[in-house]
Amino acid sequence: MMIISSILFSVLLISSAVFFTIQAKKIRRNILIGRDVDLSGNKSERFKTMFKVAFGQSKMVASPVAGIMHFFIYAAFVITQIELLEIVIDGVSGGHRRVWHLLDGTSLAGLYTFTINLIEILSVLAFIATITFLSRRNIIRLARFQKPEMKGWPSKDANIILFAEIVLITCIMLMNGGDLALQARGETHQTSQFLISSQLQGFLSGFSTPTLHVIERIGWWGHILGILGFLVYLPFSKHLHILLAFPNTYYSNLKVQGQFTTLDSVTDVVAPNFDPSYQPKTDPNHPVRFGVKDVQDLNWKNLLDAYSCTECGRCTSACPQNITGKKLSPRKIMMDTRDRLVEVGNNMDANGGKFVDDGKSLLGNYISTEEIWACNTCNACVQECPINIDPLAIIVEIRRYLVMEESQSPSELNNMFSNIENNGAPWQFSPADRANWRNEN
């Protein structure tokens, strides 16, 4: 029976890892569909930003309650991986608490007990946080979770993970509590007492020994199957940010907020008029599109942003245009970009790795011009994002396409463009009249 269990566990572990690896490669392929952009410089500043924002959760504390609750879940997730390591060792070997057997009688036995106790304490705090988050979404129904883009799958996705966390935490307690009850009867190798699950031990002691074995195994298998299931589910969930938050914050935009990029293709046309020795940066035989119409026109960092989005809605709740009833939602911009990118990736999978025109594009089929022109480029969404996602970069690039490729812009802007062309300034005054104000009394 032990051999069968070990084989079954190994098959599930390897299958889950292989499936996740295949999906991760597809995600990487999709991200690299985007144009290249060099973000290799400023390594020390980038590592500092990553540790502060992703690892240190520095921007989460802007909302203290949510920040503290999120930290409980985050810390529990990280620390629990230590006990998961022992579960994997036991599963592959067919043993029981192999790490404890190895450390028992040594100076490190106390460290083992401390680690399990810390995991249990964090698990209880994570349980409280999970109930809080479920309440905020489904009972209190915070406004930012009720926006139109959150209807359907996005809302279900969040709830699925929250319920899964409750199951995982419950399984840990059943596993440890059942094991302690069995230890009290001399059925398994004696370990130290654990703070939380020892409280459960008294309740479980009323069950028969065979039943306790079943309860302990339910807890053990329930936890590991939950973890492996989460691994398989992760590539299709917004919770992919658990992994992508780190590279995404590492490659954060380190420039001053609001600083726009210039297009080399435009510079190549203008610069020679002022500098005859100027060398073009783009290939005139392979012209590139001005701005962005579809995801292939974005750079890989924009696409990494889309996959990293946590759908928390802080960007949208801070957006003054959304607050005043405009159609723009920065969160929707990121979700639409990711959805279109997944669609393009699936298209490539179905056509041998090549994209076949499907008659769709990011602009038009996913994001409307009304949303794009509603933005006032205030950077509130960028400032609020807990992992430094930049919706504004995508909005500005789509605007560039509309203006420079389609000649589509609001009438107010058309008037300004005309004035700049004719007068060298946004105003309807001749350059010769600019100093007339000095003659007024």
pLDDT at 374: 96
Alpha-helix residue ranges (DSSP H) falling in 94-152: 98-103, 109-138
The better pLDDT of the pair 362, 416 is held by 362
> What are the tens digits of pLDDT across the range 29-86?
999 999 999 998 899 999 999 999 999 999 988 888 888 999 999 999 888 888 888 8
Q: Return the pLDDT at 50.
A: 97
pLDDT for res 13: 95
pLDDT score of 158? 94
Q: Supply the pLDDT for residue 437.
A: 78
**Candidate CATH numbers 1.10.3470, 1.10.150, 1.10.1060, 2.60.40; the one for domain 264-423:** 1.10.1060
Buried b (16+ CB within 10 A) or exposed e, 79-113: bbeebeebbbebbeebebbbbbeebeeeeeeeebb
Give me the percent of the chain exceeding a pLDDT of 70: 100
pLDDT at 203 over 90: no
**Whose structure tokens read 């999120």?**
70
* pLDDT at position 385 over 90: yes
**Domain limits of the chain?**
2-31+63-250, 264-423
Residue 215 has pLDDT above 80, yes or no: yes
Q: Is a pLDDT exceeding 80 seen at residue 440?
A: no
- The tens digit of pLDDT for each residue in 157-167 reads 999 999 999 99
**How far is Cα 192 from Cα 183, in angstroms, rounded to an integer?**
10
What pLDDT band is residue 441 in, cutting at 50, 70 and 90? low
**Predicted TM-score (pTM) of this structure:** 0.91
Lowest-confidence pick of 45-49, 111-115, 376-380: 111-115
Phi, psi (rounded to 5 degrees) for 35: -65, 150
pLDDT value for 205:
82
Model confidence at 239, in pLDDT bands (50, 70, 90)? very high
More confident residue, 97 or 315: 315
Q: Evaluate whether 171 touches 222 at the Cβ level (below 8 Å).
A: yes
pLDDT for residue 190: 77
Confidence of residue 270 (pLDDT cuts 50, 70, 90): confident
CA gap 117, 112 in Å, rounded? 9
Confidence of residue 294 (pLDDT cuts 50, 70, 90): very high
Under DSSP, is residue 367 helix (H, G, I), strand (E, B) or coil? strand
Q: How confident is the model at residue 1 (pLDDT cuts 50, 70, 90)?
A: low
